[in-house]
Amino acid sequence: MRWMLEPLGEDAVLLRLGDAISPEINRRVHALAARLDACRPAWLREIVPAYASLALIVEPGHPEIRDAPPLDRLHEWLAAQALDATAPRPDDDGPAAIVDIPTCYDGDCAPDLDDVAAHAGLKREDVVARHTGTVYIVGMLGFAPGFPYLIGLAPALAMPRRATPRVRVPAGSVAIGGAQTGLYPRESPGGWHVIGRTPLQLFDPERPQPSLLAPGQRVRFAAIDRAQWDATVGAARHV
């Protein structure tokens, strides 16, 4: 495995495995994250995977590293892990479970669906078919807590971001930005093209695992009609 090591301030480093949005590189990032997490020392506070890199964050005041500069100890530990060996893929033990995301592609749930269809030279139903016909990988979480960046968008659906971002994008919005698709976990500004909306709560700080999705998971969108959307949202309001 080839990688570059870059400092991130005084208590973190970045392991960079590449510089592209690549399913192969991203699989290796998640495999490396799992490998390091399995033997992480108590002073390694966080392991944060991204598309092509992995951030390792140290707890500087931890008793086990109090007598050495944090990054020196981290470098020593990394050198002992033999990271030049080929890392196993995260799916070596068999296919991972797929998380289905129910999504309404109708009406005001999909304000930009027509624009995406026109840009791709497709009908609305063809856009929906291609968007739901793919199994995606959660490449990383970012932008907002619980916001998943998904790898696997059909190339025909790729579209530049909106020239003018929206001030408010509703929670649960499913959107396309460039060659990526993702979901807004809460209402926020955003410049991606909204083609659908899910009733699922993507981020809840009260849950043991606040984010519904995690890096490396496999995701698939499942189309629901407006009646199903209304019924699901209505039921959730009465819980």
222 and 182 within one domain = yes
Query: Does a structural domain hold residue 87?
Result: no
Range of the domain at 35: 4-79
Does 62 lie in the same domain as 178?
Answer: no
Check pLDDT > 90 for residue 65: no
CB 195, CB 112: distance < 8 Å: yes
Q: What share of the chain is helix, strand, coil (3-state, %, to 5)?
A: 25, 30, 45
pLDDT band at 93 (very low <50, low <70, confident <90, very high): very low
Which residues are paired to 221 by β-bridges? 101
- Same domain flag for 106 and 210: yes
CATH of the domain at 168: 2.40.100.10
Strand partners, 182: 149, 175
pLDDT band at 84 (very low <50, low <70, confident <90, very high): low
88, part of any domain? no
Decide if 66 is inside a domain.
yes
What value does the mean pLDDT take over residues 141-170? 95
Does residue 197 form part of some domain?
A: yes
Q: ∠ CA 15-16-18 to the nearest 5 degrees?
A: 160
pLDDT of residue 238: 40
Q: Could you tell me if residue 167 is inside a domain?
A: yes
* Residue 58 shares a structural domain with residue 127: no
Query: Both 135 and 220 in a single domain?
Result: yes
| Total domain count, the chain | 2
Domain boundary among 45, 79, 113: 79
In this structure, what CATH number is given to the domain that contains residue 50? Answer: 3.30.1360.40
226 or 84: which carries more pLDDT confidence? Answer: 226
Do residues 214 and 131 share a domain? yes
* Same-domain status, 121 and 172: yes
Confidence band (pLDDT; 50, 70, 90) for 232? confident
Q: Is residue 127 included in any domain, yes or no? A: yes
Task: Report, as an integer, the average pLDDT of 4-17.
Answer: 87
* Same-domain pairing of 130 and 193: yes
Task: Kindly report the backbone phi and psi dihedral angles of residue 221, in degrees, each rounded to the nearest multiple of 5, phi listed first.
Answer: -90, 135
Burial of 80 (0-12, 13-18, 19+ CB in 10 A): exposed
Are 102 and 211 in a shared domain?
A: yes
Q: For residues 102 and 216, state if they share a domain.
A: yes
**Do residues 45 and 125 both lie within one domain?**
no
Rounded Cα gap, residues 176 and 22, in angstroms:
17
Task: Give a yes or no: residue 145 inside a domain.
Answer: yes
Residues 143 and 204 in one domain: yes
In this structure, is residue 90 part of a structural domain? Answer: no
The predicted model gives 138-142 an average pLDDT of 93
Residue 95: pLDDT above 60?
A: no
